Structure 1
Amino acid sequence: MLPAAPGLRWVAADLHAHTLHSDGALTIDELAALAVSAGLDALAVTDHNTVSHHAHLAEAGRRYGVALVPGQEVTTDLGHANAFGDIGWVDFREPATAWVRTVAERGGLLSVNHPLAADCAWRHPLVERPPLAEVWHSTWHAPEWGGPVAWWQAWGDAVPVGGSDLHRVGQGVELGSPTTWVAVDEAASTPDELVTAVLDGLAAGRTAVSRDRSAPVLLPVDGELVAVGAAGALVLGDGRRRPVRSDLDTLAPGGGVLGGHDGSVLSLASGR
């Protein structure tokens, strides 16, 4: 069990996946079953420019025992953003600034998606930035590529999340790779309760991202950082490189990036 603050526990989530409701190849039930087989506790279903899948998520989640978080990937040729929460349809034809305002007013959460992903890179001007950023996406194939981390650090105070962006099986994208860890109320146990708890955890900024569910991870816990399974790695930030000396090492805050000596990125942690 991962170390967490009192009253909280960490759950494994993938915050980006698609079904037949847009351009995915799987039904909601097939995606839910795949999430369970991948060891995930929660999965955001984020079909493109539609919320037609929302009405079916809760029942499928109960059937398979996984929290299916309602989402919509607001999709344009200048960039994509995930709107999380059962908040109704967000009009992709409006300026991106309107997405930020609309999602916030309806009580949802907006994330800039895969900001450095070739023709899907983020190019919308924004007056106000959304609270989340999909820093880690399945297009991040080379762990030594520092572009996503540099973008995140320059972007500001965005809570880091990650998502596989799975559309179909067999295309080299695995559900849960990357894994977004969310610290949720430990009392949340049913899929319905866990959907609410995951959204609350995201809103509070209680996140970490790792390459997959079994990879080393850097967790924010009670104002400190805890590196798990990362002996010999480095925590980077504030111009410092601090060594991780054991597989369960608590460090003072001061950096949200867990990296290898070869420059590879192993995990990201929220600074909140």
Structure 2
Amino acid sequence: MKWLACELHTHTLHSDGSQTLEELAEGAAKLGFDAIALTDHNTMSGLIGKEEIEQKYGLRIIPGMEWTTFYGHMVTIGLSAFADWRQTVQGGIDEGIRSVHRLGGIAGLAHPFRMGSPACTGCFWEYEIENWSAVDYIEVWSGTFPSIQLNNRRAFDLWTDKLNEGYRIAATSGRDWHTQSETDEPISVTYLGIEEDGMAENGNSAALSTREETLIRTLREGRASVTIGPLLTLTLDAGGTVCPIGSTVPAVVERGKSTEQPIIANLMLDFSVRAGLWSLPKQVCRLKLCSNLGEELSLEVPVPLDGQMMPFKAQLPEFPPAIPRRWIRAELWGTVRGAHVLIAFTNAIYFNEGGYLC
């Protein structure tokens, strides 16, 4: 599987940004991104000339638009045409999401707990969602050094609550990038895991070899990992079946009975990604496996002196059959700029109800 570094929330001078699409692409390439989503407010006009810019910088540009209203901002990505945001009332966002899906796109809550009016009209999410199953993702990290911000912690908790309720919603980060001004704050990256069959054989870079629709499908399926440092990935080995992030652990039935076999978690920390563009102080971090059952596993991880890949393997704890595991994710915690923060996390791997009850 190839992991592509993505920035999924950007703006140009076609809305309230102060950069052209080419300036945005050039800046993203310098920061080691493989793909960006252009999500200008209520317009898609900034995408003019994107094919030439993609080829120039070896960067995939995904079409999108940030629905910007009085009741919330919704990032839409992968649209085949303009989706009209103007008729959406506070109780009608579900129809808006359906219209995005009809056009082949996906929809996510942008910075749902950011301060709203009068500082930022509509930035705080006030829409009444009737069908959370239709929501594709939640932008749980917004801005630079996102893991230290209280509004992002609330968004992360919202995502966790929805996972606990049984919804399968992806989590992403987005810088909400408006300008090419320099910053020394940690920058978050959403990595999307691309299967080899989703890449064309055209001799281009990994980004340009990846079909646009593949990136959209990957995000919709939640095959993503988010970080301000190393890339953290997770697979589960369940009775010989390898289950990656975003997938579902299958129920194993033998002679009419559920077979409770040990489930092995395979974790990988890749400290070589985007080399030279981020750093962590020398320390011992904490690698965790968390689920709806709470913190299931905790390992000490020393930060290596040079970029390397660090694999870990562990058996998941067993629980009484009456307590089903619904989902699980990996988290990396450590110190950044003197603060104890979440450094990286994966999206969830899910469990079938009535399947593995470990």
Shorter chain as denominator, the TM-score bin is 0.7 to 0.9
The 1:218–1:132 alpha-carbon spacing in structure 2 relative to 1, beyond 3 Å, is same
Whole-angstrom distance in 2 between the partners of 1:79 and 1:225: 38
Shift of 1:171: 7.1
Moved more, 249-258 or 46-55: 249-258
The yes-or-no answer on 1:160 pairing with 2:174 is: no
Are the counterparts in 1 of residues 192 and 218 from structure 2 also a CA contact under 8 Å?
yes
Amino acid aligned to 1:249: F
The yes-or-no answer on 1:182 pairing with 2:192 is: yes
- Identify the match of residue 249 of structure 1 among 287, 291, 312: 312
The 1:70–1:173 alpha-carbon spacing in structure 2 relative to 1, beyond 3 Å, is farther
Aligned to 2:267: 226
Whole-angstrom distance in 1 between the partners of 2:81 and 2:334: 42
Does the residue aligned with 1:148 lie in a helix, a strand or coil? helix
Aligned to 1:60: 53
Whole-angstrom distance in 2 between the partners of 1:140 and 1:78: 26
The yes-or-no answer on 1:268 pairing with 2:345 is: yes
Are the counterparts in 2 of residues 15 and 162 from structure 1 also a CA contact under 8 Å?
yes
Higher relative contact order (CA 8 A, sep 6+): 1
The 1:178–1:194 alpha-carbon spacing in structure 2 relative to 1, beyond 3 Å, is farther
Whole-angstrom distance in 2 between the partners of 1:15 and 1:125: 24
- Identify the match of residue 83 of structure 1 among 72, 76, 84: 76
The 1:133–1:81 alpha-carbon spacing in structure 2 relative to 1, beyond 3 Å, is same
Whole-angstrom distance in 2 between the partners of 1:173 and 1:195: 31
- Identify the match of residue 235 of structure 1 among 280, 288, 301: 288
Structure 1: gaps (5+ residues): 1-7
Aligned to 1:31: 24
The 1:86–1:62 alpha-carbon spacing in structure 2 relative to 1, beyond 3 Å, is farther
Shift of 1:104: 1.3
The 1:256–1:234 alpha-carbon spacing in structure 2 relative to 1, beyond 3 Å, is closer
Aligned to 2:41: 48
Q: Deviations over 1:198-220 (max 9, x none)?
A: 11211221001112xxx134323
Aligned to 2:256: none
**Aligned-residue CA RMSD (Å):** 2.6
Q: Deviations over 1:169-228 (max 9, x none)?
A: 227597x921000001333446263433211211221001112xxx13432334345241
Aligned to 1:128: 131
Whole-angstrom distance in 2 between the partners of 1:192 and 1:60: 15
Does the residue aligned with 1:80 lie in a helix, a strand or coil? strand
Does the residue aligned with 1:26 lie in a helix, a strand or coil? coil
Whole-angstrom distance in 2 between the partners of 1:113 and 1:243: 31
Whole-angstrom distance in 2 between the partners of 1:61 and 1:110: 23
| Identity score, percent | 27
Whole-angstrom distance in 1 between the partners of 2:113 and 2:149: 15
Aligned to 1:198: 215
The 1:190–1:217 alpha-carbon spacing in structure 2 relative to 1, beyond 3 Å, is closer
Structure with higher Rg: it is 2
Shift of 1:48: 0.4
Are the counterparts in 2 of residues 227 and 244 from structure 1 also a CA contact under 8 Å?
no
TM-score, normalised with respect to structure 1: 0.85
Moved more, 251-260 or 193-202: 251-260
Aligned to 1:5: none
What count of residue pairs does the alignment treat as equivalent?
A: 261
Whole-angstrom distance in 1 between the partners of 2:6 and 2:26: 14
Whole-angstrom distance in 2 between the partners of 1:54 and 1:225: 40
The yes-or-no answer on 1:10 pairing with 2:17 is: no
Whole-angstrom distance in 1 between the partners of 2:180 and 2:173: 19
Does the residue aligned with 1:118 lie in a helix, a strand or coil? coil
Does the residue aligned with 2:191 lie in a helix, a strand or coil? strand
Aligned to 1:216: 230
Does the residue aligned with 1:233 lie in a helix, a strand or coil? strand
Does the residue aligned with 2:148 lie in a helix, a strand or coil? coil
